[in-house]
Structure 1
């Protein structure tokens, strides 16, 4: 009969065997294991140093390229937008640094900045669609009729574009008689703010996407609203370019991707996702020139970009254009 002492001896034997195994294992394998770990550490350190050197080299080359493009930008864009007035449109989350850099290049291209419109978060709020519709119905001229499929932002963008941009070069710089009421009413409603002589109509528009894509349950709706604004100003004027920085991943709140994914809109509105690069700001000018010629393109390095820049940049616009690009 197996008694308690048998169990006790068995348990002691098991633990003794484990202890002997651990001692033998650490004694016999200690040197190879340590050597292997040391070799792996050395290899990882070497790889890290090589990658760091590659990064430093690439950053140095990029800085050199950026410096060169910046120095020759005045020559690259000189006179490309002479005689054109450009309206700048900022969106919630867009940065002033990008806008100031683009404005400088537009000046170098000979464009005149008509002013700046800054959309507010309230403008994009899905809960405020009733307010937008009410203002549009109150302010729109009798002959402005919207298709049944249009959204609140489609209608608001059409109304704002009719007040702030024109497809007729001869009307550039002249105020629309209804523009003051439209702008002041939207400002009073907290939907936008303005700076400069925005009521003296522009021919072109540059719209700045938010630096970070919108997130949350309303992200896709907000991005869609920006698509409506860009498209509305493109149709109401002689061309619109939406610019920003390429998103690292495709998200519903990315306005640039939303334009590129919208088949009909992407045929009219151009996008440039390299606004943070000197070359990208030159491409914005070239894209506006392309818009004046009745063409559009999707440029940059992000998802949906077809090329880094337009192939042709020398088309001369007609001074009597009467329709959007």
Structure 2
């Protein structure tokens, strides 16, 4: 907020200086008006300098806090996810820097990252739902039942989730024989790419939201499609967290806001809107641990967040659990 005010005051000062120049150049007879303009310009300059000082102080405090959290992170998350495998899911426009930092803190928490699944723009393109439907119809296991209200993305997400995650600890790190060709077929269709060995299933998933909200006439549909994927991953495994950064200003295509506005999915899937901050990355770990205990929450500083981070507890997951959080 101070950063915005600082730039606003700077812009106003520039235009006011131009106005003063014009006045001085056209007449020397309106001394009261010139004096008044000069006084206002001086006050704006002073305000700018004060805001700059405040901004520098706040940035210094933030830098110090970030350094402290970064130094303490290994201790804060130690053992929190021991024995769990975590799938990282990238979406178009998500941050590589955030993903790499999240992967590091997950490892520090004792988790094993099974791999990475990167969904492409084609996956979220409303014009390509026919391709999704065709693949789902071709590779859906006979025992997979879709809700009557399921969208194309709901069905595709359910099929992919069965290939990537499991709620059964005994089946973790093994492929799902019922979905043997699903991932390779989606890759061939240009709908996703993979890194590592994500078909050896994980128990948890962290989905990385786009840095910028979707735009255009399909923005809400695409954000909803992303929420479908997060919801399906949660149901197929032990829990899912959607992580990203706060959208300023809020927009209809913001995927984290879309998740928080979805009354059904937000009860199961957690979100973190401070994933670009060291504290936010710790919150991702705590949110996953909370998921293991069958709870979910919306965390951060954006609209719909209930707290900065979950209540710190010790996870007591049950290996026999057969449904998502």
TM-score, normalised on structure 1? 0.90
> Which position in structure 1 is the counterpart of 2:198?
198
1:222-266 Cα shifts (integer Å, max 9, x gaps): 111000000000000000000111001221211100000000000
Bigger mean CA offset, 172-181 vs 39-48? 172-181
SS where residue 226 of structure 2 aligns? helix
1:197-238 Cα shifts (integer Å, max 9, x gaps): 111110000000111111011111111100000000000000
Give 1:180 shift. 3.4
**8 Å contact 1:66–1:279 — kept in the other structure?**
yes
SS where residue 264 of structure 2 aligns? helix
> Which position in structure 2 is the counterpart of 1:15?
none
Give 1:288 shift. 0.2
Alpha-carbon distance in structure 1 between the residues aligned to 2:276 and 2:28:
59
Larger radius of gyration: 1
TM-score, normalised on structure 2? 0.90
> Which position in structure 2 is the counterpart of 1:258?
258
> Which position in structure 2 is the counterpart of 1:278?
278
SS where residue 141 of structure 1 aligns? coil
> Which position in structure 2 is the counterpart of 1:245?
245
1:176-212 Cα shifts (integer Å, max 9, x gaps): 1134311111111111011111111100000001111
Matched, 1:215 2:215: yes
| CA shift in 2, pair 1:33/1:116, >3 Å | same
> Which position in structure 2 is the counterpart of 1:20?
none
**8 Å contact 2:87–2:114 — kept in the other structure?**
yes
Aligned pairs for 1:1-325 (under 5 A) are 30-325=30-325
Alpha-carbon distance in structure 2 between the residues aligned to 1:281 and 1:228:
23
**8 Å contact 2:139–2:179 — kept in the other structure?**
no
SS where residue 252 of structure 2 aligns? coil
Alpha-carbon distance in structure 2 between the residues aligned to 1:108 and 1:33:
65
Alpha-carbon distance in structure 2 between the residues aligned to 1:207 and 1:138:
26
Alpha-carbon distance in structure 2 between the residues aligned to 1:232 and 1:323:
11
Alpha-carbon distance in structure 1 between the residues aligned to 2:215 and 2:285:
30
Alpha-carbon distance in structure 2 between the residues aligned to 1:223 and 1:28:
59
Alpha-carbon distance in structure 1 between the residues aligned to 2:192 and 2:302:
29
